[in-house]
Amino acid sequence: MVEVVTQFKQGCFKATLVFLSILISMVAQSQTLLNNAPKGALVITQSDWHSQNTQYLANPASLMKILTATLATETLGKNYRFKTELAYDEKTLKKDRLSGPLTLTLTGDPSFTQKNLHSLLMTLSKAGVKKLDKVEIDASRYQGHAWSLGQVWNDHGICFAAPTSAAMINRNCVFGNLKATKAGQLAHFYLTPNSPLIVENQVVTLAANQAESCQILLKVLGANHYRLTGCIDEKRKTLPLGFSANEANTFFAHILLQELTLLGFGSEIEVSFIDHAPSWLAKTDKSVKRITHHSTPLPKLVTRMLQRSDNLIADALFKASGHQYALNEAADVASLKTLDAYQKGSLALMSLLDKNQIDSQGLVVRDGSGLSRENLLYATSLYQVLELWLSHPKFAWLVEVLPIAAQSGTLKNRESLKHDMLKGRVLAKSGSMQGVVNLAGFVQVADEKKGLKLRPFVFMVNQFSKSKAVKPAKFSIEELALFKFESGFLIQGFRP
């Protein structure tokens, strides 16, 4: 009996030594991780295995889309669809000609295309309306600017920062390209035919030995009017370009007139924008005819937003959520009527966080996409939102549509996630802009009781500076160090 007790004590002692060894190893690894942090950068981590600097606010960049997905699910619901509607009073239709106005109501559908518009007008024609005198466009749903406060001004005119308004078509964007010619000559410029934009080309082709510091600049000359200047290397074959509208209503009206002319509704149709819905549109009698297009439901929009980090969808959902929140609260908060669309979205988000006991004190929220440089979040607040996804059935579906490490979306080719331990086992949203490299989501680990367990994490790096990569290297020394740092942090999540 004494021998058994002695063996038991020895076993416990050995187990304790093993545990202490593991603990010391983890502490040492954690300290090593801290020592490898990028020089000069503010590194914030929040997880159940490692946390640091959580008292600081940081720019979330596209991590804002995690909050937007949560807000849209709560405020709009999974069945929500954006609606675009044509309406007319049948009493004004005589001999196939509509003498009264055709009203087109726009609600900010980020997926609405020229093809969808064409289909609506074809349906109108089949309903017996062949000629039009006047089209009134109601794009009054959102007040305020089409861009958020704090958004970088020189992003305007580029597709990833296209304006978000009630009037949106073809993502408010037009594509083109530049091709180098002979040194000393203007580069060849192509823009989609019949474009709603005017883009002047003054880009010069330079010899390879002179083109090392070449830049191409986009200057705004006026409403949907730009000029390209700078130079391009003669060895550059094709440079793809995407230009956004800077005046969304004019952009939409241009495409509408093209379609009306193409379908034979008339060549001198008066197109105007109205600042509120006409009273006759509220009638419920059969004389008011409506033709409606619905976007795909919210889950598909959110999936694209998270997978591709789609800024247009993010801000469209943010504004739509703010609009719905204002409608719900208008009776209690009269001042909501005077706020612009982004402010309403911000209030709606703060209300959601407060409702779920998530710390919102001190947060700065300017938009839903993360394009604004003024957005500031605590990692703890983001972490609590991710915990909400795990604890509340309403939000559980959002976990499933996040990009997966080395497999899908913005994580498919992320350098830090190419480690074998991380492939397919990290579900997260990235967030990057100049000086910002963020990642937040879940690591998927084996659990003896639950099979698989999701451990939420937030990894935010602000004030990150990098030197220019030395050819043939793809990344700078600072970037390679950051990748190693991020990988190390995530790998710790798979340890007990």
Q: Tell me the pLDDT band of 9, cut-offs 50, 70 and 90.
A: very low
How much is the pTM? Answer: 0.91
Q: Which secondary structure element, helix H or strand E, spans residue 10, and what is its range?
A: helix 2-35
Tell me the average pLDDT of the chain.
Answer: 90
Q: What mean pLDDT comes out for the span 208-232?
A: 92
Cα distances from 74 to residues 349, 451, 464, 483, in angstroms, run: 10, 29, 34, 35
Q: What is the pLDDT of residue 152?
A: 84
pLDDT digits (tens, 9 = 90+) for 290-321: 999 999 999 999 999 999 999 999 999 999 99
Predicted confidence (pLDDT) at residue 13 exceeds the cutoff of 80:
no
Q: What mean pLDDT comes out for the span 212-217?
A: 89
Q: Does the CA dihedral 48-53-56-58 come out positive or negative?
A: negative
For the chain, residues classed under CATH 3.40.710.10 are 38-78+300-492
Predicted confidence (pLDDT) at residue 448 exceeds the cutoff of 80:
no
What residues contact residue 465 under an 8 Å CB cut-off, 6+ apart? 40, 41, 435, 478
CATH topology for 83-144+248-295? D-tyrosyl-trna(Tyr) Deacylase; Chain: A; (3.50.80)
Q: What is the pLDDT of residue 96?
A: 95
pLDDT digits (tens, 9 = 90+) for 57-82: 999 999 999 999 999 999 999 999 99
* CATH assignment of 38-78+300-492, among 3.40.710.10, 1.10.3720.10, 3.40.50.300, 3.30.420.40: 3.40.710.10
For the chain, residues classed under CATH 3.50.80.20 are 83-144+248-295
